[in-house]
Amino acid sequence: MNYIEYRKKDIEKKTAEMHIYPVDILITGITGAGKSSTLNSIFEQNIAKVGTGVNPETMDINEHKLSKLTRFWDTPGLGDGIEKDKIHSKKIIDFLYKTYEKNNIRYGFIDLILVIIDGSSRDMGTTYNLLNKIIIPNISKDRILIAINQCDMAMKGRHWDSINNKPDETLTKFLDEKAYSIQKRIKESTNINVKLPIYYSAYYKYNIHKLMDLIIDNIPTQRRTIKI
């Protein structure tokens, strides 16, 4: 699927309402959640280097422009140690306060944040820290989106229908329950109501269109003002 043209008219309408081009989406999450592989699936080419094992590839915040209407920013993952997390956290926070000025009003450069969760792991501690300490204090909650990657590995690889490239009935039920559970756990941990997370597999390019729908449906209609 060509995501450059995907729902182009919807994006044009929303960005026109906001009077801004392009819409800027910051992608974040723990190391190994699949931020770079997600971008590669959206762009349908290897634009971002994917780490292997526990070694992260993204050490800086990198720009990836999908079209004149949509731009993504790939951030360093958290969970690589206290000192590295401090450095990466500061980079993300500083970037959230990157601004531009129009008609004497200062606006935030980033319009949306997409937090990617590793669907193969039950450990949400680092993700909660990311939300509580970095994201929630620095951007309004209605600009925060959650998505679950690696849904093919959610049951340790079982019940993934490799012939049809999708979860079977058992895995689909498990993933639906996992999405509701994560939504509930985020509410309990952070006290914010996030939209129901969608699940996808960047590796198998499954449900990437739903990931794009999540982003497009939640493009804000107003710019993000920053008080200095």
Q: At what angle do helices 35-43 and 208-217 cross, to 10 degrees?
A: 90
The percent of residues above 90 in pLDDT, for the chain, comes to 75
Please say whether the beta carbons of 179 and 196 come within 8 A.
yes
**CA atoms of 104 and 171, how far apart (whole Å):** 52
**At 27, is the pLDDT very low, low, confident or very high (cuts 50, 70, 90)?**
very high
Write the single-letter amino acid at 108. Answer: G
pTM: 0.91
Q: How far apart are the first and last CA of the chain?
A: 42
pLDDT at 53: 43
Tokens of 36: 């770079």
Q: What's the farthest any 2 CA atoms get from each other in the chain?
A: 57
User: pLDDT tens digits, residue range 148-203?
Assistant: 999 999 999 999 999 999 999 999 999 999 999 999 999 998 889 999 999 999 99
Beta strands in the chain (DSSP E): 23-29, 62-65, 70-74, 99-102, 105-108, 112-118, 144-149, 160-161, 166-167, 198-199
Please say whether the beta carbons of 35 and 58 come within 8 A.
yes
User: pLDDT tens digits, residue range 200-221?
Assistant: 999 999 999 999 999 999 999 8
The more confident residue out of 19 and 130 is 130
